Every structure is written in structure tokens, then in C-alpha cells.
């Protein structure tokens, strides 16, 4: 797989530069940031800007924004998001994109499992309940809502980005993950570092999963409509 000599290096880089870029930008850099942030959170008792940002969000609260943030939490929560994920996966399957559907399901399920394990390991208490709109159970680090919805949105971006016609779906998916994460800070149920680490962890997980799956299913590199058209042409 890797070049044996220097003369083979340039052709190798030209052929695999996308995969190498994804490895560095999508996996290695996020993981390095996650490790650095996690060490600072638990070795130095967090960051001062954690509390400052939460205080700023409290000053921005309105009944309308609070209702919106709560709705995002419900839609992106464990009672709704799994069904949305399955519905999208089934829709992808109908368009001859079963691999893309499995990739989406595994992205969200894997991120959720990683979150459960991380919370059991780190056991960071949630922010002061007196400043929160909601009282949430469980530990704070990293944000479960952020991880699951970021995985959902990032997976959609990977699925649809290669086609200009469907790229908007990927953009909206990423925006969805960001909005859900910000809503957790707005509601006061997570520190900003919970959300940031959650998003970066999901990015690394989904990017790594895509690198592995596309080795077995190359069609994952193409958007569903493009993949379907390629199959029709080959038939």
C-alpha cells in the first residue's frame, strides 16, 4: 500500500492525497486537539472561558430562543434522532445507496457509544444547575447531544459532498450539528469544552470510519445519485 522507494512517493501522493488529507485534517488534528483540551480540563480544572461563555449565553436568553433550543434538544435527543437516522438510511437504501445508509447508522451509533464510554471514564459534573434552563441527568463531558448530531451531520456531509447537486444537504447537516451543540451551551447543561471536544471526537470517528469503509466499498466516495448512475452505466 505504501511506496517502497522515493521514486514512487510522488505518484503515491498524487493518487492518495485525498485520503492522506482526510487522515491528517479529519482524524489526527481533531484527536490531538481533543487530547490537549481533555488534559487541560482535568489537569487544570478547565478553562476560565468555559464559565464566561456560559454567562454570555445566559444574558442572551429570550423565551423564543429558549423554546428553539429546547426543540433542538428534543429532536437531537435519544428519543427522536435514532428514528431520523434510520429513516434517512432507509431512504438512501431506496436510492441504491445501502452502503451510505449503513455508514450513516454506524457513524451515529459509534459516536453515541464512544460518548457513553467517555462519560463513564471522565465523570465531569454538569455546570451549576442554578444557571441552567434544564436539569439534565448524567455526566457532562463530552456532550452526548453534540457527538450524536455532529456525527449525523458530518456523515451526511461525507455522503453528499461529492455532488454539487446534493452538497447543500451536507452543509445543512454540519450546520445542524453545530446548532445542536450551541443549544446545549445556551441551555446551560454543558460547558463549551464539552461541546467542542464532542464535535471534534465525532469528526475523528466519522472520518476514520469512512476511510475504513471505503476500502471495502469504493462507491462510498460518490454521492448516492452519482453512485446510482455509475451502476446503471456499468450494467
Active site residues: 145, 190
Phi, psi angle pair for 30, to nearest 5°: -60, -40
End-to-end C-alpha distance for the chain, whole angstroms: 30
Length of the chain: 235
**Helix, strand or coil, per DSSP, at residue 56:** helix
How many whole angstroms separate alpha carbon 195 and alpha carbon 187?
Answer: 12
Contact predicate 96/228, CB 8 Å: yes
Q: Hey, how many other C-beta atoms are within 10 angstroms of the C-beta on 110?
A: 17
**Contact at 8 Å (CB) between 33 and 200?**
yes
Helices 167-187 and 144-160 sit at what angle, rounded to 10 degrees? 170
Beta strands in 70-112 (DSSP E): none
Shortest CA distance to 30 belongs to which of 128, 167, 142, 191?
Answer: 142
Cis preceding-peptide flag for 142 (omega within 30 of 0) = yes
CA separation for the pair 44, 46 (Å, rounded): 6
Amino acid at each position: 500500500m505504501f511506496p517502497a522507494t522515493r521514486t514512487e512517493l510522488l505518484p503515491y501522493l498524487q493518487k492518495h492525497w485525498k485520503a492522506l488529507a482526510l487522515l491528517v485534517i479529519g482524524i489526527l488534528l481533531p484527536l490531538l486537539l481533543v487530547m490537549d483540551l481533555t488534559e487541560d480540563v482535568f489537569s487544570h480544572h478547565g478553562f476560565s472561558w468555559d464559565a464566561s461563555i456560559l454567562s454570555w449565553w445566559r444574558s442572551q436568553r429570550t423565551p423564543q430562543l429558549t423554546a428553539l433550543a429546547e426543540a433542538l434538544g428534543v429532536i437531537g435527543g435519544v428519543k427522536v434522532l435514532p428514528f431520523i437516522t434510520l429513516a434517512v438510511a432507509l431512504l438512501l437504501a431506496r436510492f441504491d445507496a445501502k452502503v451510505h445508509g449503513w455508514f450513516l447508522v454506524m457513524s451515529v451509533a459509534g459516536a453515541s457509544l464512544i460518548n457513553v464510554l467517555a462519560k463513564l471514564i471522565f465523570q465531569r459534573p454538569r455546570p451549576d444547575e442554578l444557571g441552567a434552563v434544564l436539569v439534565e441527568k448524567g455526566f457532562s463531558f463530552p456532550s452526548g447531544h453534540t457527538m450524536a448530531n455532529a456525527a449525523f451531520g458530518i456523515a451526511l456531509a461525507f455522503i453528499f459532498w461529492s455532488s454539487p447537486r446534493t452538497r447543500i444537504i451536507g452543509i445543512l447537516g454540519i450546520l445542524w450539528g453545530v446548532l445542536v451543540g450551541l443549544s446545549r451551551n445556551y441551555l446551560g447543561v454543558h460547558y463549551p469544552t464539552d461541546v467542542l471536544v464532542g464535535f471534534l471526537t465525532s469528526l475523528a470517528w466519522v472520518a476514520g470510519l469512512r476511510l475504513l469503509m471505503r476500502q471495502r466499498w469504493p462507491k462510498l466516495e460518490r454521492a448516492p445519485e452519482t453512485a446510482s448512475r455509475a451502476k446503471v452505466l456499468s450494467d
